[in-house]
Amino acid sequence: MNALVKPETDIPFEATPTHAVNELESWFDALKRAYRQEPMPSFSQRKQRLLALKKQLSRYQDVLAQAMSDDFSGRSVTESKMADVLAPILDINHVVRHLKSWMKPRRRATELMFKGNKLELRYQPKGVVGIICPWNFPIYLSVGPLITALAAGNRCMIKMPPNCPRTSQILRQMLSEIFPQDLVCVVDGTHPQAMQISHLPFDHLVFTGSPTSGRVIMANAAANLTPVTLELGGKSPAIVLDDFDINQAAQRIAHGKGFNAGQICIAPDYAFVPQAKMAAFVAALKQAHSKMYRQLSGNQDYTSLVDEVQYQRFHQLLEDAREKGAEITQCLEYGDGRQTPLYVVTQLTPQMRICQEEIFGPLLPVHGYQDVQEVVDYINQRPRPLACYLFSHDEAQREQILAQTHSGGVTINDWGWHVMNHSVPFGGIGNSGIGNYHGEEGFRELSHARSVLLMRDWFPISLFSPPYGRLIQKLVLRLFVGKADRNL
């Protein structure tokens, strides 16, 4: 068995398995049997399930926020409610408004030679969807894919992270009150690692975590030809152009690094600012962080690093940068336990780990630049990120950067908020992910698009059967294919 790892960091930690693999297979078989008995839930069934989930999220909001705070040894209740409760409720609202139209068969035009027959596209549930959830947003990143899967008519098995035991317990309790286990099955985080579940022959598998773990998940799924959606994070840049107010940019980027203590896949991972404004930007970041949080000790608005492993990794990154000549600015004093302030790092070199690895914490490397093309080249020489943040009022320059770079999504003049808008898909590209969920695109991803052609009784299809060489066949070939080149 592979070592148990945290999906976001691939750092091992110990946990005691509480379920045997044959139990997982038994639960999976129950989901498959139930799906075969109800392969096409109606719109009203899907809507009822989604509204029941919305009601539970509202009812359980305080309990969920407290559970996540317990697991983190201190997590902002407001941020928990915004990200892990409000966001999925907004998602449900959008899905319920549009689901009926998404489910309708779509008429498609036939080829001219089949004119008069009926061709349509029908979206049917794939079956049983596996969801492997990380620890950083344990409700949003489990319930979010669940919403899309239920909207598409699927049944689900959710594997929770091992270091969020209290949250896993509450989620299981919350869902068991509205869904039978053969509709939604929640697997404890202390189950043997995600690699065990990814061996099951799901009809689709959704994984959120690191690119390293994503490659293993994808390889395991490939054995069953299971399609995957991978949301994998990466190093998302924040680019401040010369026309944008440096203090406003610093305030918004500081919020992105402070939200959940930077433990978020779409957090600004590093920043580019005009070289002449580097000192002003660092000072503005420190001021913005101080203004938002004042002091960390006793501050319930500021989240802790989730556990000792994450805490140690963060300081190893920081020390590596210090040893390699970085200039480091600490923005506040440490708080209680693992409450860690924002650090701003300049004088960077490519050899530093913070320039190579996704940081996943309150640390921001800042690069200076002379020309915007330097920024574009830097981004394009590296794996494609999950997000990109452009700070500029110059539409021409914004469009130039958007045209020349790739990322999963973009927010202009702020960070991260595109993910809270559920009419657009959420997902990565290349190293930052495959596929998406949210919105109509997510519904399509977790549905099978089935082509259905109805041939009319009167249609003379026999004209295209042997014996070949008849006039109508020759005319069709001449009309659509044209003349062959006899000189070849």
Contacts of residue 364, defined as CB under 8 A and 6 or more positions apart, other chains included, come to 253, 257, 268, 270, 271, 285, 342, 343, 344, 345
Structural tokens at position 430: 């290349």
d(CA 235, CA 233): 7
Cβ atoms of 272 and 378 within 8 Å: the answer is yes
One of 133, 265, 331, 388 is an active-site residue; which one? 265
Closest CA to 123 of 191, 46, 24: 46
Buried residues in 312-327 as b, exposed as e (16+ CB within 10 A)? ebbeebbebbeebebe
Cβ atoms of 232 and 433 within 8 Å: the answer is yes
Closest CA to 133 of 177, 68, 70: 68
Cβ atoms of 249 and 451 within 8 Å: the answer is no
308 a catalytic residue: no
Structure letter (DSSP) for residue 295: -
Cis preceding linkage at 365, omega within 30: no
231 a catalytic residue: yes
In the block, residue with structure tokens 């002379």: 370
Half-sphere exposure (Cβ direction) of 392: Cα atoms closer than 13 Å: 23
One of 8, 79, 231, 440 is an active-site residue; which one? 231
Determine the length of the chain.
Answer: 488
* Residues designated catalytic: 231, 265
